[in-house]
Amino acid sequence: MQDKEILERLKKIVTPYTQEKSGLEGFNQSTDFIKDLQINSANLVDVVLDVEDEFNIEIDNDSMDGMLKVEDAINIIKSKRAES
């Protein structure tokens, strides 16, 4: 799966949780989930669950802790998909 496709699917997932909608306009690898999108930290666990469902993977707590920016998420998704 191409990074671009993962990026698009990620954007769709985070949209309902995003409080700073302007952060979605320039949604790219360096977008920070909390700083740029103002996603409530409690909602990050929901984002992770949605990502799991979307990509049919399981994200452990350690991986989740490292998921601060879009590029982190893409790397985690790619490595988990490679494992399975």
Partner 1 sequence: MSNRVVITGMGVAAPNAVGLQEFEMAIRIGKSGISFFEELRKLNFSCQVGGKPGISQDILDDYFTPLQQRGLLSSGIIYGVSAGTEAWNDAGLEKAPAEAPDWDTGIIFGTGILGVDKFREAIHLIDAGKTRRLGSTSVIQTMASGISAYLGGILGCGNLVTTNSSACTTGTEAVIMGFERIQAGKAKRMLVGSCGDHGPYVWGGFDAMRILPGNYNDKPKLASRPMSATAAGFVPGSGAGALLLEDYESAVSRGARIYAEVLGGEINSGGQRGGGSMTAANDEAVQKCIKNAVINAKISSAEIDVINGHLTATTRDAVEIESWVKALGREKENFPYINSLKGMTGHCLSASGSIECVASVLQLHQGFVFGNVNCEDLHQDITNLITPRSVPIKTIEHPVNILAKASFGFGDVNAVVIFKNA
Interface with partner 1 includes 56 (CB under 8 A)? Answer: no
Q: Residue 7 corresponds to which amino acid?
A: L
Residue 54 neighbours by CB distance under 10 Å: 14
The C-alpha torsion from 57 through 16 and 64 to 51, rounded to 10°, is 10
Interface with partner 1 includes 54 (CB under 8 A)? Answer: no
Q: Residue 55 corresponds to which amino acid?
A: F
**Smallest separation, CB 83 to partner 1 (Å):** 18
| Stretch of 4-12, 24-32, 45-53, 69-77 contacting partner 1, by CB under 8 A | 45-53
Q: Which residues bind partner 1 (CB under 8 A)?
A: 16-17, 42-43, 45-46, 49
